[in-house]
Amino acid sequence: MAKRKIIQLPDELLRKKCREVTEFDERLAILLDDMKETLIAADGVGLAAPQVAVLKRVCIVMTEDLFLEMVNPVIISQKGKQKGKEGCLSVKNKSGEVVRAEEITFEAFDRFGNKYVKTVNGFNAVACQHEMDHLDGILFIDRCNKLSDEE
């Protein structure tokens, strides 16, 4: 595994719509392994491929009780609303309140190309929605009214 560089705003790569993964090969496995190592080193809860300059629909989430590798994820249903403070490894020293669905059900593929369906709620749902947004070039700052500077 190798740690990759996390790109920062205003890098235009963060604003691109990512391409679907069609090959579930060694290259994808290496990308996912590298993303996990990069996320752990950065002490974050989620990372999307465009943040390491790879424009593919791949993201990972790692919270206290969940580790997910999502390839070509699509939200198929959502319920409720929640508001919480978010930040992003590509938007240094900023945070803001974002309204998201309380619960989402999505389908995605694992690294081997197996399709799965998962329902997540609360903070895990926030993390998954934040990371999936990255795949369409959307950042949390686009969804919040007021940005604050982090100490």
Tally Cβ neighbours within 10 Å of residue 87.
Answer: 18
Binding-site size for Co ion (CB under 5 A) equals 1
Annotated catalytic residue 131: yes
Q: Could you tell me the smallest distance in angstroms from the CB atom of residue 23 to Co ion?
A: 25
Q: Could you tell me the smallest distance in angstroms from the CB atom of residue 91 to Co ion?
A: 7
Q: Which is nearer to Co ion, 71 or 139 (CB)?
A: 139
Task: Confirm or reject binding of residue 125 to Co ion (CB under 5 A).
Answer: no
Among residues 35, 48, 33, the alpha carbon closest in space to that of 129 is found at: 48
**Which residues have C-beta within 8 Å of that of residue 49, sequence separation ≥ 6?**
18, 31, 35, 55, 56, 57, 58, 59, 134, 135
Q: Could you tell me the smallest distance in angstroms from the CB atom of residue 26 to Co ion?
A: 26
> Which of these segments, 59-67, 74-82, 88-96, 112-120, binds Co ion (CB under 5 A)?
88-96
Task: Confirm or reject binding of residue 88 to Co ion (CB under 5 A).
Answer: yes
**Element (DSSP H or E) covering residue 113:** none
In 3-state terms, what secondary structure has residue 29? helix
Q: Could you tell me the smallest distance in angstroms from the CB atom of residue 143 to Co ion?
A: 11
Two tokens, residue 21: 């993964």
> Which of these segments, 22-30, 72-80, 85-93, 110-118, binds Co ion (CB under 5 A)?
85-93
Among residues 9, 86, 84, the alpha carbon closest in space to that of 45 is found at: 86
Active-site amino acid positions? 131
List interacting residues with Co ion (CB under 5 A): 88
